[in-house]
Structure 1
Amino acid sequence: MENKINLKALVDKRSNKVIFIESDHAFVDVLLSFLTIPLGTIIKLGREHSVPVEIGCINNLYSSVEEIDARELRSDACREMLLLPRNAAESHCKNLVLQIDHNAKPTQYFVCSRYCLATATSKFFSYYPGLLCVGCMDTMHREISFSVDVASAFVKERVRLLITDDLQLISPFCTSIVSLFTKLEVTNRNTTEELHFNIGVDEVMNLLISSLVSKTPLTETLLKHKPVAELNHDNNYQAVHIDPQTGGEMVLMEEDNISIKLIISISKNIVCYAEAGEDFVNLLFSFLTLPLGFVTKQIQDGSLKGCIDQLYWSVQDLNAQYLKSNHHKEMLLNPKLVPGFCYNSLLGIEEAAYYYLGSGLTTDSSLIHSNRSSESFKIEPTDHNSSARGFLKGPAIFTVTDNLVIRPISTIFELSVLDELNVPFTDIEERVMLMGKKLALSLLVASFASDSALTNAFISEPYQE
């Protein structure tokens, strides 16, 4: 029998909109878990639940990975890393009351036949069987499991919070409620009514999608029962600001920059397509592994159609008394990649650290310091450098369209792109660019919030029909 969560909602009868809902930690944890989900997983979940969502150009990236020839990839594991990206907060999400990714395979861990990890003679493991153990050079094919006991994912178990229609978390105190009512111009209690909802996995999935495309996702999910399906700006791109902690002018070594050739329509001032090496495509493919919270953090000007950024920033303002620890708050505000999934340093995202604690894994280093067991130590995958080399074999050249459809370089494909855009040969120019950290983050944001990623990342004033 499917689990359900009971929600109590206060609804404005005049506008037929949710004012706020009341819930205990179970629903709050589900909501906060959205920030930890990789973008590729969101695409996969949308397909599985028959509620596909167009997240800028991310769908095209996902489809490009599906369609790329296996001979272009370093290994079969690379495709799996991108189409089924792992969540660094997996252990904290596995006990959620409602599991939207209930079909996900649990992460597998392999050690050598000598079981080096258990005897602490080696501090390495592998996600995939067949690799060599760094400690003894034996094949790592013995699967082991780690026990994880997380009763509540992120907030304390007796926590109760109010959640507004645009997913802000507020305390259930009079001052917060009065401020909310004033903002929504609700002056008469007679214009409101209390409704009860029992929601399941389908409603949570709809809520996730609606949070990306609507300012009123609770209303869309609970009262209209239909999520909006597209996240783009209809080619009317609004500039976004990069987090000053990760953006700005960066001093990079020459090898840290990525060179790309842009084919631009002079009259329309748009990028028709780009020709680039495997390093650029590796960067684009890595977007699928990024947690939603990391992407949301980069968007600070409110230009998104949805309100997932409201959830993110309300976590930042949330009183520490509601969260289990500072570590849990950090997991939401600065979500990390699973160890071994970091392609390069251009995006500024870190890998989580895994610590072996007795018979379990944890990402909380503070638990190590307080544990006296000699078996407590940091571990990392033996193949953790594989993603640093990228997902693709090289050298290779690819054609990348403005909306991030990626193909091995093909003149016929490029001609079809120009035909579709109605751009003649006499109207194009080539422009070679070096992309560093700032442009990489701009491209990430444009890929998420627009269906013209290359134009919006590299050209300041795109053509408008």
Structure 2
Amino acid sequence: MDVNESHSVSLKLLVDRMQSEVVFAEANHDFVDILFSFMTIPVSTVLKLTGDQTFSCMNNLCASVKNADENLLLHKSCREVLLHPRSAAEIYCRNLKVNWYETDGIEYFECGSCEQVNYYWQNGLCSCCGRQLCNELKLPSPSPNLPGGFTKSTTRFMITSDLNVRPISTMKGLMLLNSLGGGENNMLEERTIDVGKDEILQLLKFSLVSKNPLTKAFLRLVPPSNNSCNITRLDSGSVNVDHSQETVSSSAKTEEMISLKLIINSVNNTLLYAEAANDFVNLLCSFLTFPIGFLFQKNSYLPFNGCMDNVYKSINNIEVELFKSPLMKETLLESRLAPGLAQIKKVISIKDATEPKYHGLMGHYNAKRVNISSMSCNRETVIANGFFKGPSSFMIMDNLAVMPLSSISGLCLIKKMQIPFDKIVEKEVVIGENEAIRLFAASLVAENALTDAFLRDEIKQEQQDKYTSTLLYMYVSFSFL
């Protein structure tokens, strides 16, 4: 498929003309499959697709990878792997009606011994049996034999303004109108729009930063129509139709731990920067390869800037019978890395997806098959041991800009901020899975990720202590009057 080829899906909107807002939308499986596919997009790909600077910490991390000295990288291809990671669910996204994933030119590699299909070259050895890879496979997109998406083609859904998705129902629509307020006549009208790739990417962006992404992304597309209808919202009180989901706990633990030194201004307990070895930087960079859905899988209770967490909750709450198979629902809820991206020293227990077998893949695709021995291959993609060489030391700023550790740069920063040297303290933190997941969340939703992940509780406690001391002082002073 030519990624620039014009494809679109139809979307019906119920619009409040007085508020200039989308109340909710109705759509068939094509649009909902696209919305659900957002869960499978690697973080680095999200940044590339949205072209936005909202996620400042992750953008700083991407820039650091882009500008990193090649001598610090384990292999030349590590930069490409981090900036353009594969999606574990890319096969299921190839035939989406509007395709956000640029599938042209994607290569797979076949093992001649066990018929495993590898996503990455890995020095030409099969990740399953370790023997030599023999063929390169190029899959056409789309494939007429493999329908895209996750939900059954006969289903229709309603999508609220904050991206709660549920099977379509008249009563649910009435309950939704009721929950938005009652007793007031509001001018609501129906509008039908065609949504293409540009609009889908706008929705992706606003779903991460806005509480009303349908309005932000789509309301500007069409002028008001004459097909308005007066609807009186019910006045019998608010009805809560929001679906809830229990917090997904990280019960699976790993034994790997990573240490990090925080350089802190003790005057106001603010972080200047952190010192770390390559193992921490490998952990940090691995976040770029994580599917965005992993954040909601592990942190569904966090107050996100946007409302993509509602998409995850909706997937969890929709009956499995509406999906093409239980595997499709599981693929969206249990985020995995593309095969080959998991590292040996892995603090966070996120798994690799299962690599397909050759005959299973070829049963759906008429792939172009090229014998590797006839090609002039100069590939080098070994990522199982991380991305940066060790032993090496790095300076990580609060906004996740990463650079080689420099005492001179650190001293210049301290001098520039006019901090007395005796007020600089070092604090060592040990990072396990819980701390790493907290850092992953902070890197997406905070402007100062390290402070938010490792010092926020202490700062809050310090502020509480000051508040308590002030109240105590006022009480004592008042007692002496």
Instruction: Determine whether 1:144 maps to 2:137.
Output: yes
Give the residue type in structure 2 aligned to 1:20: F
Aligned CA-pair RMSD:
3.0
How far did residue 97 of structure 1 move? 1.2
Give the residue type in structure 2 aligned to 1:142: N
Give the residue type in structure 2 aligned to 1:339: P
Q: Which residue of structure 1 lines up, in the alignment, with residue 215 of structure 2?
A: 219
Contact 2:16 2:186 in 1 (8 A): no
Q: Which residue of structure 1 lines up, in the alignment, with residue 32 of structure 2?
A: 28
SS at match of 1:43: helix
Task: Report the number of matched residues.
Answer: 415
How far did residue 131 of structure 1 move? 2.4
Shift of the 184–263 alpha-carbon distance from structure 1 to 2, 3 Å rule, reads: same
1:153 to 125, 128, 149: 149
Distance in 1 (alpha carbons) for counterparts of 2:416 and 2:295 = 30
Percent of aligned positions that are identical: 35
SS at match of 1:331: helix
Instruction: Determine whether 1:12 maps to 2:5.
Output: no
Shift of the 12–133 alpha-carbon distance from structure 1 to 2, 3 Å rule, reads: closer
Distance in 2 (alpha carbons) for counterparts of 1:161 and 1:77 = 42
TM-score of the aligned structures, taking structure 2 as reference length: 0.79
SS at match of 2:203: helix
Distance in 1 (alpha carbons) for counterparts of 2:326 and 2:74 = 38
Give the residue type in structure 1 aligned to 2:352: E
Q: Which residue of structure 1 lines up, in the alignment, with residue 120 of structure 2?
A: 127
SS at match of 2:322: coil
Distance in 2 (alpha carbons) for counterparts of 1:426 and 1:36 = 48
Contact 2:14 2:188 in 1 (8 A): yes
Q: Which residue of structure 2 lines up, in the alignment, with residue 107 of structure 1?
A: 106
Contact 1:132 1:138 in 2 (8 A): yes
Distance in 2 (alpha carbons) for counterparts of 1:266 and 1:13 = 53
Q: Which residue of structure 2 lines up, in the alignment, with residue 400 of structure 1?
A: 396
Distance in 1 (alpha carbons) for counterparts of 2:291 and 2:60 = 18
Give the residue type in structure 2 aligned to 1:439: E
SS at match of 1:110: strand
Contact 1:25 1:159 in 2 (8 A): yes
SS at match of 1:354: coil
Distance in 2 (alpha carbons) for counterparts of 1:190 and 1:129 = 60
Q: Which structure has the larger Rg over C-alpha atoms?
A: 2
Instruction: Determine whether 1:329 maps to 2:315.
Output: no
SS at match of 1:33: helix
Distance in 2 (alpha carbons) for counterparts of 1:244 and 1:321 = 22
Shift of the 212–132 alpha-carbon distance from structure 1 to 2, 3 Å rule, reads: closer
How far did residue 346 of structure 1 move? 1.7
Distance in 2 (alpha carbons) for counterparts of 1:302 and 1:434 = 22
Distance in 1 (alpha carbons) for counterparts of 2:131 and 2:248 = 46
Q: Which residue of structure 2 lines up, in the alignment, with residue 387 of structure 1?
A: 383
Alpha-carbon displacement from aligned partner over 1:98-134 (angstroms, at most 9, x marks no partner): 12233x55431234xxx614xx4x6474623852468
Q: Which residue of structure 1 lines up, in the alignment, with residue 479 of structure 2?
A: none
Match runs of 1:263-412 below 5 Å: 263-343=263-343, 344-356=345-357, 358=359, 360=361, 386-412=382-408
Q: Which residue of structure 2 lines up, in the alignment, with residue 428 of structure 1?
A: 424
Shift of the 420–317 alpha-carbon distance from structure 1 to 2, 3 Å rule, reads: farther
Distance in 2 (alpha carbons) for counterparts of 1:191 and 1:295 = 38
Q: Which residue of structure 1 lines up, in the alignment, with residue 192 of structure 2?
A: 196
Give the residue type in structure 1 aligned to 2:309: D
TM-score of the aligned structures, taking structure 1 as reference length: 0.81
Q: Which residue of structure 2 lines up, in the alignment, with residue 369 of structure 1?
A: none
Q: Which residue of structure 2 lines up, in the alignment, with residue 380 of structure 1?
A: none
Alpha-carbon displacement from aligned partner over 1:126-152 (angstroms, at most 9, x marks no partner): 623852468998864631245764313
Q: Which residue of structure 2 lines up, in the alignment, with residue 64 of structure 1?
A: 64
Distance in 2 (alpha carbons) for counterparts of 1:269 and 1:335 = 36
Distance in 1 (alpha carbons) for counterparts of 2:410 and 2:194 = 51
Shift of the 86–152 alpha-carbon distance from structure 1 to 2, 3 Å rule, reads: same
Shift of the 129–450 alpha-carbon distance from structure 1 to 2, 3 Å rule, reads: closer
Give the residue type in structure 1 aligned to 2:355: Y
Contact 1:108 1:128 in 2 (8 A): no
